[in-house]
Amino acid sequence: MSDFDTLQRDWLAHLGHERRLSPKTLEAYGRDLNQFRAFLDEHLGASPDLKAVAALKPADLRAFLGQRRRDGAGNRTLMRQLAALRSLARFGERDGRLSAAAFAATRGPRLGKGLPRPLDARAAAAVTKADSRIGEDRPDWVLARDAAVLSLLYGSGLRISEALGLKRAQAPASSGDALTVLGKGGKTRMVPVLPVVVDAVAQYLAQCPWRLEPDGPLFVGVKGGPLSPRIIQLAVEGLRGSLGLPGSATPHALRHSFATHLLGRGGDLRAIQELLGHASLSTTQVYTRIDSSRLLAAYDAAHPRAR
């Protein structure tokens, strides 16, 4: 193991144990570094050590990003990879093993400031109803299951991974119940559960043909195993045609709808931040831009002096 391998190992351990990043994030960072290593093997003509990495210039790092772009990586992927390399360099710099100057001086690609695209309230409600899929060649309990999952996304603002990570013992049993959700970075939060969501989960449980153990998954597939997120994504894709929904209609759009509709009804931004589990308020503030853009569009359409 080279000294660069040792630094990489120590950095990932630091992120996992002290920063408590999720296993998926650590896996992504590990892939980023492996791709960087493969590039340096070819770029330098030898397996890199810390001395060689410390001698890199911003031009070398831009060459790496250029190669990744030619391989099909998008701007967000490139920004994540550059962020990973900067974090590694800062970690090595703290104990004198590496210099972060070249990494800090390298500019990444610009990201477009696209807004989340929520559904309107009527469409979001329709997506969460099992009746919207009557006629599909699917068992009734599967339709009830999908409706329960989608109800949690829209009614409680969950990510799909959070909903599918719930245990049977966590199923809300009555109105006013709250869920303890395990979110990104291993952080937990409390979210309210609406009566309509309680009913949707109860209908699924009443029809589910599988015995669900208390410490097992709440939502299962047709063979009784953990439910794949792809199944829920396909369910929403099918609803696009039957309900006339836009291509932006996805399970995650229901989470956007949750936040946007709360804000539009006067919800407090800080409270919405806590409900969504955002670490930074700036992440939640993007929904204020959506609300403002709708107000301006309504103004332009209705005010007699706007034309």
DSSP one-letter string for 192-208: E--HHHHHHHHHHHHH-
Look up residue 97 and give its amino acid. R
Catalytic residue among 145, 159, 256, 261: 159
- What does the alpha-carbon distance between residue 48 and residue 58 come to, in Å, rounded to a whole number? 16
- What does the alpha-carbon distance between residue 244 and residue 116 come to, in Å, rounded to a whole number? 19
Q: Tell me whether residue 138 is one of the annotated catalytic residues.
A: no
Residues 6 or more apart whose CB falls under 8 angstroms from that of 216 comprise 167, 168
* CB-count burial class (<10 Å; 0-12, 13-18, 19+) for 28: middle
Catalytic residue among 68, 255, 256, 261: 255
Catalytic residue among 14, 86, 184, 240: 184
CB 133 within 8 A of CB 242: yes
* Cα separation values, 120 from 13, 90, 242, 261, 294, Å: 43, 44, 16, 8, 11
Q: Tell me whether residue 255 is one of the annotated catalytic residues.
A: yes
Q: Which residues of 171-208 are buried (b: 16+ CB within 10 A; e: fewer)?
A: bbeeeebebebebeeeeebebebbeebbebbbbbbeeb
Q: Tell me whether residue 287 is one of the annotated catalytic residues.
A: yes
Q: Tell me whether residue 159 is one of the annotated catalytic residues.
A: yes
Q: How many residues does the chain have?
A: 307
CB 292 within 8 A of CB 281: no
- What does the alpha-carbon distance between residue 304 and residue 34 come to, in Å, rounded to a whole number? 60
H-assigned helices in the chain:
3-17, 23-44, 50-54, 58-70, 75-94, 101-105, 121-127, 140-156, 160-164, 195-207, 229-243, 251-264, 269-276, 281-284, 286-302
Annotated catalytic residues are 159, 184, 252, 255, 278, 287
